[in-house]
Amino acid sequence: MNTSECILTRRSVRKFQDKPVDRALFEEVVSLAAWAPSWKNTQITRYLAISSREEIETIARDYAPFNGYILSSCPLLVAVSVVKKRSGYERDGSPSTERGDGWQMFDCGIATQTLCLAAHDKGLGSVIMGVFDRPGLEKHLNIPPERELVALVAMGWPAEEPKAPRRKGVEDLLEWR
């Protein structure tokens, strides 16, 4: 699959086959996501992979009921977090720009999409999820205070081929001066 094809054919997959994702395969996916660019190469994004069905069901019920139907079939739930106050900051802890901690979210978004594209290249489906009880889940997962939980990614072998949602045209997206 070339890069354009990978970008064009990746879809948010919300229904998965009853088949596990091997740890070795997911490690390959993470090793590819590691090549995402980041602020001064700070590489602040971290992945917590949860493969226990019981644990995924607990998370769905208690912290992410809105996305419960996705979690009901997903064999691997990835909790994506960032190490805070590195990306966009100087060594002395002062913000490098007026954007403050905005750059850490920027880096995490790039890394997460890279993870999803790498997964897609291996035949794995995924969907990024932003709707969940972040403070509650941070506590439940023991995310340390120097980290922030940003997103959940459901991952697995696709059991659906979603239709591509419409995209805006270049004329809406691009202004050329």
- Residues forming contacts to ligand FMN in the complex (CB under 6 A) are 11-12, 14, 67, 127-131, 162, 165
Q: How far is the CB of 36 from ligand FMN (least distance, A)?
A: 15
Q: For residues 172 and 25, what is the distance between their CA atoms, to the nearest angstrom?
A: 38
Q: How far is the CB of 107 from ligand FMN (least distance, A)?
A: 14
Which residue in the block uniquely carries the two structure tokens 């996501």? Answer: 33
User: Which lies closer to ligand FMN via its Cβ, residue 95 or residue 128?
Assistant: 128
Say how many C-beta atoms besides its own lie within 10 A of residue 156's C-beta: 24
Q: How far is the CB of 112 from ligand FMN (least distance, A)?
A: 8
User: Which lies closer to ligand FMN via its Cβ, residue 29 or residue 116?
Assistant: 116
Q: How far is the CB of 93 from ligand FMN (least distance, A)?
A: 28
User: Which lies closer to ligand FMN via its Cβ, residue 35 or residue 69?
Assistant: 69
User: Which lies closer to ligand FMN via its Cβ, residue 124 or residue 127?
Assistant: 127
Q: For residues 93 and 96, what is the distance between their CA atoms, to the nearest angstrom?
A: 9
First vs last C-alpha separation in the chain: 34
Q: How far is the CB of 94 from ligand FMN (least distance, A)?
A: 28
User: Which lies closer to ligand FMN via its Cβ, residue 130 or residue 144?
Assistant: 130
